[in-house]
Amino acid sequence: MIRSSHACFGGTQHFLEVDAASVGPMRYTVYLPPGPPAPVVYCLAGLTCTEETFAIKAGAQRMAAELGLALVTSDTSPRARRVPGDDADWAFGQGAGFYLDATTPAYRGWNLETWIVHELPALVEAEMPVATDRRGILGHSMGGHGAMSLALRNPGRYTSVSAFAPIAAPSEVPWGKKAFAGYLGDEGWAEHDTCALLASGRRLAARLLVDQGLADNFLDTQLLPERLELACAAAGQPLTLRRHPGYDHGYWFVQSFVADHLRFHADLLG
């Protein structure tokens, strides 16, 4: 169901909602550029965000229209499948789904990987004039973790992958440890950790682009870009990791470099 539509840089920004089989009622957005059916970049937001955050704050539509890219965003957790205590901590539960399919009894039905990787693209590609064979994925923070880990877990699904300030090694940091314990219990953490996936032999289809601000309050405690750098070097995974003095973790940072990311995706998606 389309909730609203708005003309934007010659294209259209749609805000939608669906009762999804994987996660229940879920809101998402689609930006369609002017012109023929466009390749799609799936844009994953971070902790506390909704489907509107990237669509409204990133300022990506102008460049997407110029490059001929469709942009899709999603809410960051199921909002109708409530669990007692799921809103007690801003870094876990509501707004913090971590883009995985939960296996613990309390959170079964929080199937964010199934939703993002399979159900959402099938929906978008069936109902919108977009290309069905060219997909990219990018993310910010928790969404950066999602973009990288989902692409590694689903080879061939995404042609291009990039991230802003990603949680690179969630098994090693407080945000990831809390999320993985709550959603996965004691098992399966390595299957959702980018550095561990690279160490296990998984690879991306092309070079990975990552931007990181050096004034980011979470840099040394939650993000650990140096772990990603080492993991990619050991695995032979091509990586461009750009470090930017003065930039923090927020959307002023994302706005500053989103055009570079979209050009990166457009070059790979053709």
The helices-and-strands tally (H runs, E runs) of the chain is 9, 9
* Catalytic residue list contains 249: yes
The CA-based angle 192-196-202, given to 5 degrees, is 85
Do 164 and 139 contact (CB within 8 A), yes or no? yes
Q: Which two tokens stand for residue 270?
A: 């053709």
Spot the catalytic one: 86, 101, 211, 216.
216
Cα–Cα distance measured from residue 12 to residue 231, given in angstroms and rounded to the nearest whole number: 40
In the block, tokens 């939608």 appear at 16
Is 141 designated active site? yes
- Going 7 to 11 to 17 to 18, the CA torsion angle's sign is positive
Chain centre to alpha carbon of residue 150: 9
State how far Cα 106 lies from the chain centre.
24
Query: Which residue among the candidates 141, 149, 160, 162 is catalytic per the annotation?
Result: 141
Q: Active site includes 216? A: yes
Q: Which of 140, 145, 192, 249 is catalytic?
A: 249
Please identify every residue annotated as catalytic. Answer: 141, 216, 249
